[in-house]
């Protein structure tokens, strides 16, 4: 049934949007070629180092598979919640004379497939480059593909078990506050407690002492208790002649744990699925009933959001009401705010690790390179933030969009409200990220202000792009933001965001690189930044103008 539905959607998409296939094909081909070139160049560079090059390359392999394992577990947890507890199809299956365990098994497999396909796509260039560098035979790629099968099952089982246990308490307000508090404590512990390399070591030229410390700090990823280390050891064994038996051992170890996990998931977790689903549904109904009773009795307790809304209401009642409606919708969806917490946590880890960069940049060339790499990292963060959370905002209004269209607010004002809300939030996050990272890198004050203004301009451009394309390509039938983002409009938004980031950072970097190299630049120093500003303004106004025209003829 799903295969037929997929073919029908693909056929309809090719007829209605033939550009989609070309955009997706170009994006996939570009990533595969660029990723292969990047990984191969990195591995060739590492292997040129005497003595330590091979050890560094192997340790990076362990780190990458460890990162994949953690992200797979988190992805299965988030997707599993949407698939098992918020999917209308799952609710319909539970009303049929079908065993609850069978419903859970099917949804488990569906969540596993959705969350794991990206691993194959992202790691394909890396493993291809790894095989080319090691001159492996053709069967190496077949062995690695087979090794991926049990590897993706283990985090899927862990994420599924976690969501079945968490869903019984996620609907309670105190759990959200406790998770946020726990996240803050973990981030503070990382920032102030974990520092494997001191500033003195990083600033000094003592590679012989620094290398053992770096290897010791990443030794956790090589633990024999981690499935990611089993896969890394299997890949390394299959790339060396005569060690195929070692690779087979780690493959069988992965397979045995995966089969045991499937047995526990299909039998044990399937038995408690209906109880968790019923508890989550009844808790939501109970909370709604309590709020309705309190509202009738006029004894409803004022929340913090309600207090802030009352204070801001005199400024613009209509806009304030729309803003707080979006905030409440976001806060009531665990799949949304949990992903945002993970996203924010990764930003904190990125900033915390900047302490391990050399404290002083005596060479202006390296100072310029690091400063623009930091700008590029912040720009990629911004594009991910706007595409994932801003683009679906208009579509998430759902089939109730006609209420806003018929109200005195109007859809044009809704689009403008979403743009300003997105710009304020994203610019606040990314400008703070840029200022903190620049201060930690000990840049001069003028460079901190310059890059903060640049990322603020990019926030406006990407917010206008995401809101505009979200209104130009709405999908009111879908309630899952992840599926909205994976549509043609979301893919187009992501591709344009990456292209804009590359153009913007390049235009700002050109005069700086010519300056530090003492080479003549054909244009004045302000010329390319001015072009970057014009491109940003075009990206703000063109999608927004097209979107406001589109909503006038929107079929609701």
**pLDDT tens for the chain, residues 1 to 556:** 778 877 887 777 677 667 667 777 787 788 788 888 888 888 888 877 766 667 777 888 888 888 888 888 888 887 777 788 777 788 888 888 888 888 888 888 888 887 787 777 778 888 888 888 888 888 888 888 899 899 999 998 888 888 887 777 765 666 667 777 777 777 677 666 655 555 455 444 445 555 666 666 677 778 888 898 999 899 888 888 778 888 899 999 999 999 998 888 887 777 778 777 777 777 665 666 666 666 666 555 556 666 666 666 666 677 777 777 777 777 766 667 667 777 776 676 676 666 655 444 556 777 788 888 888 888 888 888 888 888 888 887 777 777 776 777 777 888 888 888 888 888 888 888 888 888 877 788 888 888 889 999 999 999 999 988 888 888 777 777 777 776 777 777 888 888 898 899 999 988 888 888 777 777 887 888 899 999 999 998 988 888 888 877 665 5
State the Cα–Cα distance between residues 113 and 83, nearest whole angstrom: 12
Write the Ramachandran bin of 301: left for phi over 0, alpha for psi from -120 to 50, otherwise beta: beta
Cα-based distances in Å from 123 to 26, 120, 296: 18, 5, 56
pLDDT at 120: 77
10 vs 20: CA distance, rounded Å: 10
CA 304/CA 452 separation, integer angstroms: 31
pLDDT of residue 276: 78
pLDDT at residue 205, rounded to an integer: 45
Domain spans of the chain, in order of start:
363-556
Cβ neighbours of 239 (radius 10 Å):
21
Q: Please report, for residues 80, 82, 116, 483, the alpha-carbon distance to residue 156 in angstroms, rounded to integers and kept in the order given.
A: 9, 14, 9, 19
CA distance 390 to 469: 10
What pLDDT score was predicted for residue 354? 67
- Neighbouring C-beta atoms of residue 228, cutoff 10 Å: 25
pTM > 0.85: yes or no: no
Predicted pLDDT at 161 = 84
Q: Is 208 exposed, middle or buried (0-12, 13-18, 19+ CB in 10 A)?
A: exposed
The Cβ of residue 460 has, within 10 Å, a number of other Cβ atoms equal to 19
Distances 340 to 165, 290, 437 between C-alpha atoms, Å: 21, 28, 20
Residue 264: how many other CB atoms lie within 10 Å: 14
Is 81 within 8 Å of 163 (Cβ atoms)?
Answer: yes
CA distance from start to end of the chain: 28
pLDDT reported for residue 531: 92
What is the C-alpha separation between 180 and 24, in angstroms, rounded? 37
* Structure confidence at residue 202 (pLDDT): 47
- In angstroms, the CA 366 to CA 287 distance is 57
Cβ 442 vs Cβ 354: under 8 Å? no
Output the CA angle 453-456-459, nearest 5 degrees: 155
Look-up: residue for tokens 């770096």?
214
The residue among 108, 45, 64, 54 whose CA lies nearest residue 231 is: 64
| Calpha distance 39→35 (Å, rounded) | 6
Q: State residue 315's pLDDT score.
A: 63
Long-range contact pairs involving 403-409 (C-beta distance under 8 Å, separation at least 24): 405/551, 405/554, 405/556, 408/318, 409/318, 409/322
CA-wise closest residue to 462 among 425, 502, 493: 493
Region for 98 from its dihedrals, namely left if φ exceeds 0, alpha if ψ lies in -120 to 50, beta otherwise:
beta
């Amino acid at each position: 049934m799903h295969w037929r539905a997929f073919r029908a959607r693909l056929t309809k998409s090719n007829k209605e949007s033939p550009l989609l296939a070309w955009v997706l094909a170009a994006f996939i081909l570009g990533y595969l070629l660029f990723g292969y070139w990047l990984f191969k160049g990195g591995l060739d560079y590492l292997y040129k180092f005497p003595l330590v090059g091979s050890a560094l390359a192997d340790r990076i392999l362990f780190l990458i598979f460890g990162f994949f394992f953690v992200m797979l577990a988190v992805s299965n947890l988030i997707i599993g919640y949407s698939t098992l507890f918020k999917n209308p199809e799952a609710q319909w299956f539970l009303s049929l004379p079908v065993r609850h365990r069978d419903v859970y098994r099917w949804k488990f497999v569906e969540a596993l497939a959705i969350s794991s396909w990206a691993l194959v796509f992202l790691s394909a260039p890396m493993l291809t480059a790894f095989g080319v560098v090691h001159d492996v035979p053709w069967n190496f790629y077949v062995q690695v593909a087979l090794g991926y099968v049990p590897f993706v099952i283990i985090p899927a089982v862990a994420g599924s078990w976690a969501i079945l246990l968490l869903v019984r308490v996620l609907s309670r307000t105190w759990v959200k506050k406790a998770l946020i508090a726990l996240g803050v404590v973990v981030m503070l512990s990382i920032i102030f407690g974990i520092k494997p390399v001191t500033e003195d070591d990083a600033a000094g030229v003592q590679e012989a002492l620094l290398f053992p410390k770096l290897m010791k700090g990443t030794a956790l990823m090589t633990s024999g208790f981690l499935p990611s280390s089993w896969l890394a050891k299997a890949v390394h064994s299959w790339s060396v002649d005569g060690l195929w038996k070692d690779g087979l051992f780690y493959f069988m170890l992965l397979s045995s744990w995966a089969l045991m996990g499937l047995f526990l998931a299909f039998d044990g977790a399937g038995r408690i699925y209906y109880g968790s689903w019923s508890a989550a549904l009844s808790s939501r109904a109970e909370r709604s009933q309590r709020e309705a009773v309190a509202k009738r009795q006029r004894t409803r307790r004022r929340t913090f959001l309600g207090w802030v809304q009352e204070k801001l209401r005199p400024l613009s009642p209509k806009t304030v009401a729309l803003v707080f409606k979006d905030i409440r919708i976001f806060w009531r969806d665990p799949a949304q705010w949990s992903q945002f917490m993970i996203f924010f946590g990764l930003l904190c880890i990125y900033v915390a690790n900047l302490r391990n960069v050399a404290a002083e940049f005596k060479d202006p060339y390296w100072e310029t390179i690091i400063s623009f790499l930091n700008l590029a990292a912040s720009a990629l963060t911004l594009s991910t933030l706007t595409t994932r959370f801003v683009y679906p905002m208009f579509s998430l209004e759902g089939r109730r969009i006609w209420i806003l269209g018929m109200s005195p607010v109007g859809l044009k004002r809704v689009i403008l409200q979403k743009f300003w809300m997105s710009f304020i939030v994203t610019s606040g996050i990314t400008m703070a990220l840029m200022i903190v990272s620049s201060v930690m890198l000990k840049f001069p004050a003028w460079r901190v202000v310059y890059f903060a203004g640049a990322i603020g301009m990019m926030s406006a451009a990407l917010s206008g792009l995401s809101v505009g394309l979200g209104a130009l390509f709405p999908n009111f039938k879908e309630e899952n933001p992840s599926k909205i983002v994976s549509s043609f409009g979301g893919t187009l938004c992501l591709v344009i965001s990456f292209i804009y980031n590359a153009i913007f950072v390049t235009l700002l970097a050109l005069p700086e690189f010519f300056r530090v190299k003492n080479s003549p630049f054909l244009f004045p120093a302000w010329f390319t930044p001015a072009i970057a500003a014009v491109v940003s303004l075009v990206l703000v106004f063109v999608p927004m103008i097209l979107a406001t025209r589109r909503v006038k003829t929107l079929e609701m």
